[in-house]
Amino acid sequence: MTAKPKLRIYLCAPRGFCAGVVRAIDAVERALQIYGAPVYVRHEIVHNKYVVEGLKAKGAIFVEELSEVPDTDKPVIFSAHGVPKSIPAEAGRRNFLAIDATCPLVTKVHREAQSHHKHNRQVLLVGHAGHPEVVGTLGQLPPGSILLVQTPEDIETLQVADEANLAYVTQTTLSVDDTRQMVDKLHERFPLIVGPQREDICYATTNRQEAVKRIAPFVDALIVVGSSNSSNSQRLKEVGERSGCPISRLVLRAEDVEWDLFRDITTLGITAGASAPEVLVEEIMDAFAERFELEIEIVSTADESVFFPLPRELRPVA
């Protein structure tokens, strides 16, 4: 029997679920416990197909719009990404039991935008068009009150009514380096622009990117466990590429690994996006263990102890 080749795995820490994702998933599971199935969820609660399928199996019904929800006394839950103000208003009109599982760090961005608007500032949002978090933030204010900027070129060509009365907020799951570049460009073009007191990119995004930057220069390949529609997972893959890793792949399950790519590697980095459960990391590591003799080293760049309580409607009565 041929000996398996050796593979050293550098396992990033922290990785996987962040506090906002844990809270959102727990909210759906708790609502199912209290109210029974079905529970309706507007948009994927978090961007991970494995998590969504697991919740469907327990009785959650996912919809893209509230118009798909029948008249019901069952809970209707809003996803961790946040929603435009029109959505809770529609839920109120239909007398739904609405439960908002928006990540508190996204809610912070919404409040910043509302505060700037109250002070008559034009708000610029740094983010990716069409992402549910961006759609939700744009929908906090009247149309035209927030302008989306996606690239440095957008900033160069931007026309605003009053350059002395501007503020910016950012999507929470962007690349830290890209966002720094965008913010520098905003300050260069609009020296009087007002930013957030504490940056909007969430702690989990920053920490996971930092761990990838540490290992990417010296591993043969990097696997980011996560869904293709997960912004923070996509950014981790890009950070790996930019930090010098020759093979950087986003993989949801072990069955998605392109084994030919990894045949000749001797070192591998593994991390997981903030919406990817640890069980998928273990599944992929088990698949590598079938093909290689593993040595595992944990590379830790931060300790995470953040906790967000459940939405008020789901907390146990004292």
Residues marked active site are found at 133
Per residue, the 3-state secondary structure of 74-87, as one string, reads CEEEECCCCCCCHH
| Cα radius of gyration rounded to whole Å, the chain | 21
298-to-11, 13, 82, 116, 211 alpha-carbon distances in Å: 5, 7, 33, 42, 10
The Cα–Cα gap between 78 and 120 comes to 29
Those residues whose C-beta lies under 8 Å from the C-beta of residue 180, and which sit 6 or more positions away, are: none
Tokens of 257: 């690994």
**Tokens representing 74?**
């069952």
Asked if residue 274 lies in contact with residue 16, where contact means CB atoms within 8 angstroms, the answer is yes
| CA–CA distance, 206 with 121 (Å, rounded to integer) | 28
| HSE-up (13 A, CA, CB side) for residue 132 | 21
Residue 72 burial (10 A CB sphere; 0-12, 13-18, 19+): middle
